[in-house]
Structure 1
Amino acid sequence: MSRKRKRCLSNQPSAAETSAGLAGPPSALPGRASWSGLLRLSLVVVPVKAYPATSTTQTISFNQLHAGCGQRINYHKVCPVHGKVASEAIVRGYPYAPDQYVVVEEAELDQLRPPKDRGLVLEQCIEASQIEPALFAGRTLYLVPEGLPARRPYLVLQEALKRQKKAALGRITLSGHRHVALVRPTGRLLSMHLLHDPAKLRASAALETELRDGAANEQKQRLASMLVDSATAAIDWARYRDDTAEKLVALIEAKIAGRQWVAPAEEPVQVLQLLEALKQSVADCVQKTKAAGPKPPKRRRRSA
């Protein structure tokens, strides 16, 4: 890498600098609320604020550079007939035939968008297990009461859902888009999970037909059950930490410093026959359990 190009990389702001290893662990503070409005269930109305449940501050981004000189690549909006076009001269068009477009004006799109309703309207309560996991869109927000007067109705609603082991299904408008949302108790809070449009969920029945005749014999099934039992343990989320960003930071820091970076070696995967794999897996789990020591005895409930 030339000196000039190396300087271009080292002066890039800070998507990488916000990652672990360059700026330390992320703050535990929730930051700014991403939404505020009224949580409504029938006639019960609670002002709430919504905070993202996950952090996005550790994302590492790159700029595209010219390989020859290290300068950033720029993109321009160009018409093949008239050349460069200003943003205000660009409209939306839908291709209904080859090289044929119908123009849709921004004002027409505004009429189709849902009204700017600041409400999270809960329409029914359900068992949380009724929701197919594939519907979860991967975005969760924590709801907190907005202001002292909102705390009591918020806690009453949260406790009611918790005692009944129920969740509430409703709708909310975010960034001009209508979403189906699932609200459920999380600790002392209410969390809101955004769901995919149920109409987009693909049926799994067609895939399941391929598995009708694939049942294992009783010995293999018994060993598989033993494997599940021996592998059952309390969740330790530290084991599932995504260290991809840390490895990427290490690579970037090594290149900035001019050091050679060596990728960590991958462990080989041993492929065994199913019966042998089950037997060996059960033995490995039992050995790990013995090495970890005995489990603490369960506390007996006192009789009333």
Structure 2
Amino acid sequence: MRAIWKGAVSFGLVNVPIRLYSATENHDVQFRQVHREDGGRIKYQRVCSIDGEIVSYDDIAKGYETEDGEMVVLTDEDFKELPAASSKEISVEKFVPADQIDPMYYDKSYYLEPDKASTKPYLLLRDALEKENRVAVVTVSIRTRMTMAVLRVHDGVIVMQTMLWPDEIRKPDFATLGDDAKATKQELAMADLLIEQLAGEFEPDDYEDDYAAALESLVKAKVEGGEVRTAPEAKEESGEVVDLLAALKRSVDKAKASRGETETAKPVAKKTTARSGAEKATTAKKTAAKKASKKAS
């Protein structure tokens, strides 16, 4: 694993230098959008919705859309004025009972590894959290933004779990679940019996992502059966030429409009059918033959 952040845990007068590692990884299957005919990857362009022009990265800014649909464009200077923190300290605010925090607040998980010189205070904090069955509520700045988090122990390692802010937790409001909606005693007794029949211990290894496994087998079978396509890499110049021609076409239209002319330039074809070398050679020969025939006559 590669450390994504370096800092220190601070509680009281104790300072524990640590390194932060992502504790989880996403195994969702990732697909690419491709052309069905030849397997070529589909590319997208950054086009302005107002003038239709292609926009470079240097001209792209962050915009905030208001509720009435208006757009507020924010500059780099605007962001510099916002409260931001660059501290490398994980500051413990308080120690609370582990069952006091609703799991809904938990977001991402990270492992904390101590420096060799700080192993003893790290173990002290770890053992104290386990002994008291508490978690440490902390504040930490990751990528310049301050967030809440908790420190708890998992498999002998201190784990930091970032938390959502209270206003990020939605409140459920379902009309069908009013105060008068309750199960009867008979229904509750049957539910208790069902729960008792299915009671057990949670074993994560008992569960498997069968979709990912089946998809992996499917792809492997296609590869072994030769059902693969090697699409040639698209030349970078081709896209730029098309963009340039499109820009020239718009320029011609604007120039004609400024002179009061209504005729527009012929649109540039976005995609042409490539002819084989033999077809091109045949066409060239026919053209040369026609020219020779005209000169002879």
TM-score (norm. length: structure 2): 0.68
Contact conserved, 1:46 with 1:145, CA < 8 A, in 2? yes
Separation of aligned partners in 2, 1:40 and 1:88: 40
For residue 145 of structure 2, what is the aligned residue in structure 1?
177
The residue type equivalent to 2:105 in the other structure is: L
Query: Does 2:215 match 1:248?
Result: yes
Query: Does 2:191 match 1:224?
Result: yes
Query: Does 2:30 match 1:61?
Result: yes
Separation of aligned partners in 2, 1:128 and 1:205: 28
Question: Superposed, which structure 2 residues align to 1:46-195 within 5 Å?
Answer: 46-56=16-26, 58-79=27-48, 80-81=50-51, 83-96=53-66, 100-112=70-82, 114-137=84-107, 139-146=108-115, 148-195=116-163
Separation of aligned partners in 2, 1:216 and 1:49: 53
1:74 CA displacement: 1.2
Separation of aligned partners in 1, 2:127 and 2:68: 58
Query: Does 2:9 match 1:42?
Result: no
1:46 CA displacement: 0.6
For residue 9 of structure 1, what is the aligned residue in structure 2?
none
For residue 7 of structure 1, what is the aligned residue in structure 2?
none
| Pair 1:208–1:179, CA change in 2 (3 A) | farther
Contact conserved, 2:8 with 2:18, CA < 8 A, in 1? yes
**How many pairs align?**
226
Instruction: Flag structure 2 segments of 5+ consecutive residues without an equivalent.
Output: 228-297
TM-score (norm. length: structure 1): 0.66
Percent same amino acid at aligned positions?
A: 27
Separation of aligned partners in 2, 1:225 and 1:82: 63
SS in 1 for 2:158: strand
Could you report, residue by residue, the CA deviation over 1:261-286 in whole angstroms, capped at 9, with x for unpaired residues?
xxxxxxxxxxxxxxxxxxxxxxxxxx
SS in 2 for 1:112: coil
For residue 238 of structure 1, what is the aligned residue in structure 2?
205
Separation of aligned partners in 1, 2:174 and 2:81: 39
Separation of aligned partners in 2, 1:96 and 1:229: 52
The residue type equivalent to 1:108 in the other structure is: D
Q: Which of 1 and 2 has greater Rg?
A: 2
Instruction: Flag structure 1 segments of 5+ consecutive residues without an equivalent.
Output: 1-30, 261-304
Separation of aligned partners in 1, 2:109 and 2:32: 29
1:210 CA displacement: 2.2
Separation of aligned partners in 2, 1:231 and 1:72: 48
1:220 CA displacement: 3.6
The residue type equivalent to 2:218 in the other structure is: L
1:215 CA displacement: 2.1
Contact conserved, 1:113 with 1:176, CA < 8 A, in 2? no
The residue type equivalent to 1:126 in the other structure is: V
| Pair 1:107–1:214, CA change in 2 (3 A) | same
Separation of aligned partners in 2, 1:47 and 1:143: 10
Separation of aligned partners in 1, 2:83 and 2:166: 19
SS in 1 for 2:29: coil
Could you report, residue by residue, the CA deviation over 1:137-159 in whole angstroms, capped at 9, with x for unpaired residues?
2x21111212x221111111111
1:258 CA displacement: 4.5
The residue type equivalent to 1:215 in the other structure is: A
Could you report, residue by residue, the CA deviation over 1:200-242 in whole angstroms, capped at 9, with x for unpaired residues?
223347669525332222x443332233233222322222222
| Pair 1:205–1:161, CA change in 2 (3 A) | farther
Separation of aligned partners in 1, 2:226 and 2:178: 52
For residue 2 of structure 2, what is the aligned residue in structure 1?
32
Higher relative contact order (CA 8 A, sep 6+): 1
